[in-house]
């Protein structure tokens, strides 16, 4: 047995306020009602042998190895399926049990290849462990080498193999796929000795399997095994850390040999994921040691010069002297910085501190600008705090789920598995999305309503839903009277009841039949617990902030805020987008969302940081670029964000960057933005540093260093060096000291420290004297702002309109296997599932244009054009096309416009008027890009790989 494995209780841990006491092997044990005898025994140190049971899935009772004796009862029941009861006297060891178990193991082993010494699971195999545990020394029937399972190994999945010769048909994998992941990709075919695990297709890769790894995790033998373990051997060390991909923030155990990662295993005690994972966090970590990593600092005087590798000292001194020169020549406000939602809280905090205290202005912004800034604004106005209201496990109490502009099975897969579980239990689902996303209809899940609205009509839809609630007497009046600002409610109720907001009036804008809207509104409003979950399909619009307030209004009017099972919950895109906002990355706010013009707050920061701070909000990213084009903004420090690829209207971004005199890019790879950079600081991946991430639940989790930074410095260390060179020393020796400063300066973080995080695993802010253990559900007795405030949400159609030249609407999203602009995932075998962005087109629009699946099409908008391959898909509605933005060579943002949210400037990525036509080859723009971009061509020629 490997040293690093977590304890397996055999059956899921139960939580109940009712406890039962029983005696197991002479020891009295007390456990929550509903706990199996197996789990009760294991919790108290008594290991009953088992094979078909594991604590990630419900007990199945098939292997008959876990037999026990109960005084006063006949027979030998299975301890995995027998519940602990008050007063039971249980014996787990006796000569009879030993003999029965030995017989069971003998049958298993007689049908199993005896190649333990060379097996990849040697030392990490439950079958081997159990043979030892029952004292099996001889097999009467003998293994004669004639395996009845002779199929070839299935090695189609890039990350794990399936070797059926080792399968004991315990069905743990099948049950994990169903119960934990909710994909139902596996089944057991046949009976008795002929039974076997099957995918329903030729192999794993071509099946429904989404490569979440739950089956691999559940498998007790080497049948399902990680390829890295097969290649590298069994891990010998472990470090708990947090996934660096999406905003679910799954806890992982990085299992290692020395400082080399062997596998990432989802952490059972990770409160965001409770032992589950998706293909990205579980398997796609090879980018961290990919050969494309830049590990030497580089500088160049002009962006047309070749890069020159230099020492850290020289790079930092050069960048600092340039920034000083720019400020001396063009003024203090001529430079700024961008923080990263991929970096840690501590690193983000340091970059904004560097800008405010080191540069002496507030020109700091973050990539959250282009995703969830409307969430901060909208929830701040209505509830008083800029974050989601629930913890993830709250969804298990929801009776109706309203999912708007989010596609969790692709973008937030581990949360999607929780949601699907609740839906299988009977909760109802309303999907509001232009596209037929997977949750509209998939294995054992079917939405009650799919409101397939037109892109850009979110506010029209939310107003129509609220109109039904108000005019049909569905408002929870007691709740509103007690919890909300009544004047604001009455003004809102008059506004929303107006006929112009009725589903019938809004039908022209939304494209959703009024009757469907009315039925969905009634379903949501009449639920005991109704919860809203939403994504970038809400925020990345010209009315993103209005829509967030519209959802908050609906939730307050129906009393759905302040307890488990309800709430308004943003599904955050990047791992630390919540944290980067919390840490004061916006130009107008310090950490904890306090305005820079607030004298008391500013004085506190001035006192702590020992410098005078500006009370004028600084420039947002789009304004920095505008100013650069205008000649007034000259220097930018960009940490961990590729604005040339991820921000809208690429040409404008490029013009802005080209106009600057010193761009410092701090990243893992030479990204698109680095083409316009003068200094490159090599970055560090999440495996190379200590810190914290904050997920979409406001959960602060530790990131722990697994290996030394490949470039010598972690990102926080490089920022400190840069600050020192600029003449503003920031003397921290460990990220824990940065967190201590954050806690001193930020009321919602005042109870957070590394020590506390190490004790409890993770904490949801606010965490302070009022809530020392954090706050899973917000606004329980009162809203953070006091009374909840209804806001008027007039629907104003976007200025981006279709017309004869651009008759279709383009909307964008993500796919499961890739992440954002592909910097990480495109350098992993995840390309096996998605190696290019495609354009989904409805059959009607495709036929009109003579387009077939696989054709290369030209996608044109008022801003630009690009080309990609088409997929004709019924998932689209007529008039709407869809693509992802994961691959640089597609350049999807070349076509997006510079329209943005009225309140926050969040770009309107989700609505672009376009034309699509058949074409051959690639556009001039792409040819130019490919010519210039040696590195992209290399990726195309040489598939990325795990490891180095």
Q: Is 51 in the site for ligand FES (CB under 6 A)?
A: yes
- Nearest to ligand FES of 57, 401 (CB atom): 57
- Nearest to ligand FES of 53, 643 (CB atom): 53
DSSP 315-349: HHHHHHHHHHHHHHHH-GGGEEEEE-SSS-HHHHH
- Nearest approach in angstroms of CB 219 to ligand SF4 is 3
CB 193 within 8 A of CB 259: no
Q: Looking at 29, 31, 40, 50, which residue binds ligand FES (CB under 6 A)?
A: 50
Say how many C-beta atoms besides its own lie within 10 A of residue 451's C-beta. 24
- Nearest to ligand FES of 103, 807 (CB atom): 103
Q: Is residue 299 classed as helix, strand or coil in its secondary structure?
A: strand
Reading the block at residue 779, the tokens are 């606004």
Pick from 756, 605, 773: nearest CA to 692: 756
51 binds, among ligand SF4, ligand FES, none (CB under 5 to 8 A by kind): ligand FES
Reading the block at residue 586, the tokens are 């916006």
Reading the block at residue 790, the tokens are 């209804």
The mark string for 54-83 relative to ligand FES (x by CB under 6 A, - otherwise) is -------xxxxxx-----------x-x---
- Nearest to ligand SF4 of 155, 314 (CB atom): 155
Helix axes 934-941, 924-932, angle to 10 degrees: 90
- Nearest to ligand SF4 of 219, 371 (CB atom): 219
- Applying CB under 6 A, the residues found at the interface with ligand SF4 are 167-173, 176-177, 181, 183, 185-186, 197, 209-215, 218-221, 223-224, 243, 245-246, 248-250, 273, 277-278, 280-281, 412-414
- Nearest to ligand SF4 of 215, 903 (CB atom): 215
Say how many C-beta atoms besides its own lie within 10 A of residue 886's C-beta. 24
Reading the block at residue 65, the tokens are 């190895």
225 binds, among ligand FES, ligand SF4, none (CB under 5 to 8 A by kind): none
CB 56 within 8 A of CB 214: yes
- Nearest to ligand SF4 of 60, 722 (CB atom): 60
- Nearest to ligand SF4 of 114, 612 (CB atom): 114
- Nearest approach in angstroms of CB 50 to ligand FES is 3
- Nearest to ligand FES of 130, 859 (CB atom): 130
- Nearest to ligand FES of 53, 687 (CB atom): 53
- Nearest approach in angstroms of CB 272 to ligand SF4 is 7
Could you give the angle at the alpha carbon of 235 between the alpha carbons of 229 and 240, nearest 5°? Answer: 115
Dihedral sign of CA atoms 378, 382, 383, 384 in order: positive
- Nearest approach in angstroms of CB 125 to ligand FES is 16
- Nearest to ligand SF4 of 249, 618 (CB atom): 249
Q: Is 752 in the site for ligand FES (CB under 6 A)?
A: no
78 binds, among ligand SF4, ligand FES, none (CB under 5 to 8 A by kind): ligand FES
- Nearest to ligand SF4 of 189, 301 (CB atom): 189
Total of chain residues touching ligand FES, rule CB under 6 A: 12
- Nearest approach in angstroms of CB 864 to ligand SF4 is 30
- Nearest approach in angstroms of CB 708 to ligand SF4 is 23
Q: Is 411 in the site for ligand FES (CB under 6 A)?
A: no
Stretch of 47-55, 178-186, 536-544, 550-558 contacting ligand FES, by CB under 6 A: 47-55
Window 323 to 362, contacts with ligand FES (CB under 6 A): none
Report CA 775 to chain centroid distance, whole Å: 20
Reading the block at residue 934, the tokens are 């040696």
66 binds, among ligand SF4, ligand FES, none (CB under 5 to 8 A by kind): ligand FES
Q: Is 870 in the site for ligand FES (CB under 6 A)?
A: no
- Nearest to ligand SF4 of 217, 327 (CB atom): 217
278 binds, among ligand FES, ligand SF4, none (CB under 5 to 8 A by kind): ligand SF4
Phi/psi of residue 146, nearest 5 degrees: -90, 85
218 binds, among ligand FES, ligand SF4, none (CB under 5 to 8 A by kind): ligand SF4
50 binds, among ligand SF4, ligand FES, none (CB under 5 to 8 A by kind): ligand FES
- Nearest to ligand SF4 of 261, 872 (CB atom): 261
d(CA 414, CA 547): 26
- Nearest to ligand SF4 of 280, 356 (CB atom): 280
250 binds, among ligand SF4, ligand FES, none (CB under 5 to 8 A by kind): ligand SF4
Say how many C-beta atoms besides its own lie within 10 A of residue 760's C-beta. 13
SS3 of 813-874: ECCCCCCCCCCCHHHCHHHHCCCCCEEEECHHHHHHCCCCCCCEEEEEECCCEEEEEEEECC
- Nearest approach in angstroms of CB 130 to ligand SF4 is 12
53 binds, among ligand SF4, ligand FES, none (CB under 5 to 8 A by kind): ligand FES
How far, in Å, are 175, 195, 837 from residue 281 at the CA level?
Answer: 21, 32, 21
d(CA 896, CA 546): 21
Q: Give, rounded to a whole angstrom, the gap between the first and last alpha carbons of the chain.
A: 28
- Nearest approach in angstroms of CB 173 to ligand FES is 14
169 binds, among ligand SF4, ligand FES, none (CB under 5 to 8 A by kind): ligand SF4
Pick from 712, 715, 741: nearest CA to 640: 715
How far, in Å, are 207, 749, 775 from residue 778 at the CA level?
Answer: 41, 15, 6
- Nearest approach in angstroms of CB 416 to ligand SF4 is 8
172 binds, among ligand SF4, ligand FES, none (CB under 5 to 8 A by kind): ligand SF4
CB 502 within 8 A of CB 508: no
634 binds, among ligand FES, ligand SF4, none (CB under 5 to 8 A by kind): none
- Nearest approach in angstroms of CB 220 to ligand FES is 10
- Nearest approach in angstroms of CB 83 to ligand FES is 13
d(CA 347, CA 685): 12
511-544: b (≥16 Cβ within 10 Å) or e: bbebebbbbbbebbbebebbbbbbbbbbbbbbbb
- The answer, yes or no, to whether the previous bond of 41 is cis (omega within 30 of 0) is no
Reading the block at residue 632, the tokens are 């007034």
From the number of C-beta atoms within 10 Å of its C-beta (0-12, 13-18, 19+), residue 380 rates as buried
- Nearest approach in angstroms of CB 198 to ligand FES is 21
Pick from 828, 832, 830: nearest CA to 817: 830
183 binds, among ligand FES, ligand SF4, none (CB under 5 to 8 A by kind): ligand SF4
CB 207 within 8 A of CB 185: yes
- Nearest to ligand FES of 62, 919 (CB atom): 62
- Nearest to ligand SF4 of 214, 404 (CB atom): 214
- Nearest approach in angstroms of CB 870 to ligand FES is 50
Q: Is 52 in the site for ligand FES (CB under 6 A)?
A: yes
- Nearest approach in angstroms of CB 848 to ligand SF4 is 37
Q: Containing H/E element for 104?
A: helix 95-110
Stretch of 49-57, 138-146, 452-460, 715-723 contacting ligand FES, by CB under 6 A: 49-57
Side by side, the strands of the sheet bearing 298-299 are 308-309, 298-299, 679-682, 662-667, 635-639, 335-339, 364-366
Site residues for ligand FES per CB under 6 A: 50-53, 61-66, 78, 80
């Amino acid at each position: 047995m490997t040293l690093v494995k977590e304890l397996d209780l055999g059956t899921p841990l139960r939580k109940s306020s009712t406890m039962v006491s029983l005696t197991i092997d002479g020891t009295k044990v007390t456990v929550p009602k509903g706990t199996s005898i197996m789990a009760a025994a294991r919790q108290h140190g008594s290991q009953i042998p088992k094979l078909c049971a594991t604590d990630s899935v419900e007990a199945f009772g098939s292997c008959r190895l876990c037999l026990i004796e109960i005084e006063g009862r006949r027979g030998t029941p299975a301890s995995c399926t027998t519940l602990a009861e008050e007063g039971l006297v249980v014996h787990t060891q006796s000569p009879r049990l030993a003999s029965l178990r030995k017989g069971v193991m003998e049958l298993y082993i007689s049908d199993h290849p005896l190649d333990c010494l060379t097996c990849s699971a040697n030392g990490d195999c439950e079958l081997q462990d159990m043979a030892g545990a029952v004292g099996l020394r001889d097999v009467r029937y003998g293994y004669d080498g004639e395996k009845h399972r002779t199929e070839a190994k299935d090695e189609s999945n890039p990350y794990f193999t399936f070797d059926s010769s080792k399968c004991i048909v315990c069905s743990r994998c099948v049950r994990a796929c169903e119960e934990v992941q909710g994909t139902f990709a596996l089944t057991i075919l046949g009976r008795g000795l002929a039974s076997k695990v099957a995918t329903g297709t030729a192999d794993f890769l071509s099946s429904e399997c989404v490569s979440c790894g739950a089956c691999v995790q559940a498998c007790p033998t080497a049948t399902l095994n990680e390829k890295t373990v097969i290649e590298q051997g069994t891990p010998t060390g472990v470090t708990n850390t947090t996934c660096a991909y999406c905003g679910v923030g799954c806890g992982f155990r990085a299992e290692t040999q020395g400082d080399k990662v062997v596998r990432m295993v989802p952490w059972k005690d990770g409160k965001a994921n409770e032992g589950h994972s998706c293909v990205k966090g579980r398997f796609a970590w090879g980018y961290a040691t990919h050969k494309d990593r830049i590990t030497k600092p580089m500088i160049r005087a002009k962006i047309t010069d070749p890069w020159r590798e230099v020492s850290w000292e020289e790079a930092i001194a050069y960048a600092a002297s340039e920034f000083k020169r720019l400020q001396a020549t063009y003024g203090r406000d001529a430079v700024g910085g961008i923080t990263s939602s991929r970096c840690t809280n501590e690193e983000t905090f340091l970059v904004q501190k560097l800008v405010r205290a080191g540069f002496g202005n507030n020109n700091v912004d973050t990539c959250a600008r282009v995703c969830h800034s409307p969430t901060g604004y909208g929830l701040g106005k209505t509830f008083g705090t800029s974050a989601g209201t629930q913890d993830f496990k709250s969804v298990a109490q929801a009776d109706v789920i309203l999912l708007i502009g989010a596609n969790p099975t692709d973008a937030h897969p581990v949360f999607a598995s929780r949601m699907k579980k609740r839906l299988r239990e009977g909760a109802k689902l309303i999907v509001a999305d232009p596209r037929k996303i997977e949750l509209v209809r998939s294995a054992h899940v079917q939405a009650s309503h799919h409101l397939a609205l037109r892109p850009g009509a979110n506010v029209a839809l939310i107003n129509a839903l609220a109109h039904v609630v108000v005019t049909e007497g569905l408002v929870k009046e007691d709740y509103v009277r007690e919890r909300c600002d009544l004047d604001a409610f009455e003004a809102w109720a008059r506004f929303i009841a107006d006929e112009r907001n009725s589903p019938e009036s809004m039908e022209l804008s939304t494209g959703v039949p009024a009757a469907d809207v009315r039925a969905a509104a009634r379903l949501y409003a009449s639920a005991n617990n109704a919860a809203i979950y939403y994504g970038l399909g809400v925020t990345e619009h010209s009315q993103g902030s209005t829509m967030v307030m519209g959802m908050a209004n609906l939730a307050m009017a129906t009393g759905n805020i302040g307890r488990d099972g309800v709430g308004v919950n943003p599904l955050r895109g990047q791992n630390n987008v919540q944290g980067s906002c919390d840490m004061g990355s916006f130009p107008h706010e310090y950490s904890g969302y306090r305005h820079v013009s607030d004298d008391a707050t500013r004085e506190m920061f001035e006192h702590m940081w020992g410098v005078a701070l500006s009370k004028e909000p600084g420039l947002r990213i789009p304004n920095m670029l505008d100013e650069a084009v205008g000649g007034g903004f000259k220097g930018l420090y960009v940490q961990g964000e590729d604005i040339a690829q991820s921000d809208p209207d690429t040409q404008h971004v490029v013009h802005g960057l080209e106009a600057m005199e010193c761009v410092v890019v701090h990243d893992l790879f030479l990204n698109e933005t680095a083409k316009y950079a003068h200094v490159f600081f090599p970055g560090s991946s999440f495996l190379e540093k200590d810190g914290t991430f904050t997920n979409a639940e406001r959960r602060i989790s530790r990131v722990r260093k697994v290996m030394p930074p490949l470039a010598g410095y972690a990102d926080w260390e490089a920022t400190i060096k840069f600050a020192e060179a600029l003449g503003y020393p920031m003397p921290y020796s460990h990220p824990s000291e940065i967190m201590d400063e954050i806690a001193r300066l930020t009321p919602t973080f005042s109870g957070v420290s590394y020590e506390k995080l190490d004790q409890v695993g993770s904490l949801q802010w606010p965490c302070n004297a009022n809530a020392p253990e954090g706050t899973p559900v917000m606004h329980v007795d009162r809203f953070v702002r006091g009374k909840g405030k209804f806001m008027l949400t007039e629907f104003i159609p976007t200025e981006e309109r279709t017309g004869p030249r651009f008759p279709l609407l383009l909307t964008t999203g993500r796919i499961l296997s890739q992440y954002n602009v592909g910097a990480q995932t495109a350098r992993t075998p995840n390309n096996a599932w998605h190696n290019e962005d495609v354009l989904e087109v409805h059959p009607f629009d495709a036929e009109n244009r003579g387009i077939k699946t696989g054709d290369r099409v030209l996608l044109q908008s008022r801003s630009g054009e690009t080309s990609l391959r088409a997929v004709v898909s019924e998932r689209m509605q007529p008039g709407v096309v869809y693509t992802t933005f994961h691959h640089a060579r597609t350049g999807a943002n070349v076509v997006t416009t510079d329209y943005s949210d009225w309140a926050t400037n969040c770009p309107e990525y989700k609505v672009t008027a376009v034309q699509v036509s058949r074409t051959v080859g690639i556009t001039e723009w792409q040819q130019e890009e490919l010519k210039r971009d040696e590195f992209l061509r290399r990726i195309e020629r040489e598939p990325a790989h795990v490891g180095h």
